[in-house]
């Protein structure tokens, strides 16, 4: 299941973040690649211990912490601190699967990667190419979102980034461990939660809404890993 999280940041917030990112130190993106993905990875990254990356990463996590759509779709337990990459001049990232376990260099914290996240900081008009292409049961899903918007997709998915032939594609990428390991179960809970929220707009105390809310929490109680 691919889920778009629109408008994580406003255009003014994106402008401020981009100014800070553009002024930061950038290095070869292979520093965070696994053995297989390093063979096909061509981009630049900000080192994870860079103060600018850490500050903006905290801003991202704070914004997502209050984003109801993100919380409903991801049911996050642990989130890897956001990283930042840039593609330009024909750079791309070949087809790969993200590492199953990520270890944060500074804290040593390990997470199981259930969901991968890409938060765009370049508008589509700023660059050509640079599409995130995720393979799922319905074929290739091509993603190129407005600046300030984010995509969630299963970390088990084969995916790649097409070459950027004009301009620069700047984004944040990171992973999270969900309370619900199974993408199928997580999708069921998401659809149920969204349906409950829609029904509750008219009458939050309606008996059907109350019963469905009970079903949701009982499933969450049965399936969650803490």
Nearest residue to 198 (alpha-carbon basis) of 97, 3, 206: 206
Q: What is the mean pLDDT of the chain?
A: 95
Rounded to the nearest 5 degrees, what angle is found at the Cα of 175, between the Cα atoms of 71 and 109?
105
User: pLDDT digits over 111-162, tens only?
Assistant: 999 999 999 999 999 999 999 999 988 899 999 999 999 999 999 999 999 9
Q: What is the pLDDT of residues 49-104, one digit of tens each?
A: 999 999 999 999 999 999 999 999 999 999 999 999 999 999 999 999 999 999 98
Domains of the chain (ranges, CATH numbers): 3-178 (2.60.120.620), 183-223 (4.10.860)
Which residues make beta-bridge pairs with 37? none
* Residue with the two structure tokens 């259930």: 114
The predicted model scores a pTM of 0.93
Is 202 in contact with 118 (CB distance < 8 Å)? no
Residues 43/31, Cβ–Cβ less than 8 Å: no
The arithmetic mean of pLDDT across residues 200-207, rounded, is 91
Bridge partners (DSSP) of residue 36 are none
The predicted structure's pLDDT at residue 36: 62
Average pLDDT over residues 172-193: 98
Nearest-angstrom CA–CA distance, 113 and 13: 28
pLDDT score, position 40 = 83
The secondary structure of 72-88 as a DSSP string is: HHH-EEEEPPPEEEEEE
Task: Check if the beta carbon of residue 34 is closer than 8 Å to that of residue 99.
Answer: yes
∠ CA 9-13-18, nearest 5°, is 105
- How many CB atoms are closer than 10 A to CB 125? 9
Burial label for 63, CB within 10 Å (0-12, 13-18, 19+), is: middle
Share of the chain above pLDDT 90, in %: 87
CA distance 119 to 115: 13
Per-residue pLDDT, 108 = 86
> For residue 164, what are the β-bridge partners?
129
User: Region 167-192: what's the mean pLDDT?
Assistant: 98
- pLDDT given at position 184: 96
pLDDT at residue 34 greater than cutoff 80: no
Distance CA 136, CA 20 (A): 35
15-18 contacts, C-beta under 8 A, 24 or more apart: 17/56, 17/59, 17/121, 18/121, 18/122, 18/147, 18/170
Taking residue 74's Cβ as centre, other Cβ atoms within 10 Å add up to 24
Q: Which pLDDT score is estimated for 33?
A: 62
């Amino acid at each position: 299941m691919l889920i778009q999280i629109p408008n994580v940041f406003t255009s003014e917030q994106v402008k401020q973040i981009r100014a800070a990112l553009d002024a930061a130190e950038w290095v070869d993106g292979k520093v965070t690649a696994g053995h297989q993905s390093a063979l096909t990875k061509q981009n630049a990254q900000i080192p994870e211990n860079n103060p600018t990356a850490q500050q903006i990463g905290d801003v991202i996590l704070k914004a997502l912490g209050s984003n109801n759509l993100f919380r409903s779709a991801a049911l996050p337990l642990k989130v890897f601190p956001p990283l930042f990459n840039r593609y330009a001049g024909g750079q791309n990232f070949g087809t790969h699967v993200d590492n199953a376990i990520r270890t944060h260099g500074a804290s040593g914290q390990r997470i199981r990667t259930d969901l991968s996240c890409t938060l765009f900081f370049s508008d589509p008009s700023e660059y050509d190419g640079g599409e995130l292409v995720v393979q799922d049961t319905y074929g290739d899903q091509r993603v190129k979102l407005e600046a300030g918007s984010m995509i969630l997709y299963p970390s088990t998915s084969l995916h790649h980034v097409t070459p950027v032939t004009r301009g620069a594609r700047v984004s944040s990428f990171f992973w999270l461990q969900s309370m619900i390991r199974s993408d199928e179960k997580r999708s069921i809970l998401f659809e149920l939660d969204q349906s409950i929220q829609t029904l509750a707009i008219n009458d939050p105390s309606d008996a059907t809404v109350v019963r469905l809310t009970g079903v949701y929490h009982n499933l969450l109680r049965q399936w969650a890993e803490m």
